[in-house]
Each structure stands twice: as C-alpha cells, then as structure tokens.
Chain A
Amino acid sequence: GAGVSQSPSNKVTEKGKDVELRCDPISGHTALYWYRQSLGQGLEFLIYFQGNSAPDKSGLPSDRFSAERTGGSVSTLTIQRTQQEDSAVYLCASSLGLAQNIQYFGAGTRLSVL
C-alpha cells in the first residue's frame, strides 16, 4: 500500500513569508509525528498527534510553528514569518499508535528560506 506522502518535496521561500507543509499518513495510522532534520540540530521531534489532538507539542521551537490534523488523517505544519534558521528537511512519520509500533517516515519536505 501507499506509504507516508509529503508535499511539496521542495519549498523555497523568502524570509518573512508563511509556509504550509502537508503530510498524508498511511491509511489507518492513528499516530502522526513531525520531525525536523537540520545541519546544526540533527533530527529533532516537533509535535505528536493521536487522532486529531496533539497531546505533545513540546518540540515546536517557537510560536511561529503550528500544526493541525483533520479527520484523523492529513496533517499540516505551518511556519509563520519564516526565518533562515527554519531551513531544514521536515519529516513526517505515522504509526498504528500502539505501544512499540514502528514509525514509517515520508521522504520529507526540504525547506529553504532565502
């Protein structure tokens, strides 16, 4: 079946603009995670969804970052007033949401802020 799909695959934006990154998880996966992969910080957790609620937002780096999930499926990560330090690869993963379940990752969205 289809894996985790992320769009766009690449996004170039100007500093100060807002961007939206989309994640389509594997069908039936109730848990969804966003991570960021950057040169300076490595791979870091951003936010976790169980269904449509986000019980763990502890990794969001600032209030410019927000995310939502609708219908227990698609999730959107929004970055407002982008800064150059937001340049990174944003990865989405989904899992069945049960203990010790495997997370399946999308190919990521490479964001470049000029």
Chain B
Amino acid sequence: GDSVTQMEGPVTLSEEAFLTINCTYTATGYPSLFWYVQYPGEGLQLLLKATKADDKGSNKGFEATYRKETTSFHLEKGSVQVSDSAVYFCALSDPDFGNEKLTFGTGTRLTIIP
C-alpha cells in the first residue's frame, strides 16, 4: 500500500541555519504531495503542496519539489527562524483511493534556537 517515510527527528537548528527535512513516498497511482505543519498548541495546517511531477510548492520561505524519479518531496528553507519551531508532516493523497484521504509520515519535530 501507499506509504510516506520522513526524516526521524527531533531536529534542532540555530536561527538562520539551512533546513532540509527528507521525505520519500510509495504510491500506486500519481499522488499529490503535501507538507503540513503543527505549531505548538495548534491544529494541522497546510504548508505547501505539489500535484504533479516537477511541480514546486512554496510558502513562508519553505519549498519542496515533487521528484517522481526519486519519489521524493524534501522540505527546504534557506534561513530558519525561531517561529518555525513546529512538527512537520509529509503526506500524500492517491487518486487510486477514489478520494483525497491523506497518508502521513511520522512527523519531524523541529526546534530552532536563537
């Protein structure tokens, strides 16, 4: 079945450091790919998405490129801030399911220290 594997956390970085959180997927169809973020005490929010190969999703300085050849959707940010501290989830939705249900990775907890 479909699955998402993402980088184990926790990840701790200094402010202004470069961030990469790795995500790879397995899917039977041609999935859409997502990064969701969960800030402390808040619900899940969509951070960015890409719906087909070579698409780049971007938001709030974060970027991820849909790489079909490597089945990856790595999250990157050039200069992180303390406010980026959160748990990040990679996810996919597979049209073969007949609906848009999300399959999530295990989540990566990111802490940025000043």
Stretch binding the partner chain, chosen from B15-23, B45-53, B62-70, B71-79: B45-53
Count of chain A to chain B residue pairs whose CB atoms are closer than 8 Å in the complex = 56
Given contacts A43-B89, A107-B43, contact A48 B99 (CB under 8 A): yes
Number of B residues contacting the other chain (C-beta, 8 Å)? 23
The reply to whether A103 and B46 form a contact with Cβ atoms under 8 Å apart is yes
- A33 and B95 alpha carbons, distance in the complex (Å): 16
Given contacts A91-B44, A100-B51, A105-B43, contact A55 B98 (CB under 8 A): yes
Given contacts A42-B105, A100-B32, contact A95 B43 (CB under 8 A): no
The reply to whether B44 and A31 form a contact with Cβ atoms under 8 Å apart is no
Given contacts A105-B45, A107-B42, contact A55 B105 (CB under 8 A): no
The reply to whether A56 and B49 form a contact with Cβ atoms under 8 Å apart is no
- A33 and B98 alpha carbons, distance in the complex (Å): 13
Q: Which of A56, A103, A106 has the most CB of B within 10 A?
A: A103
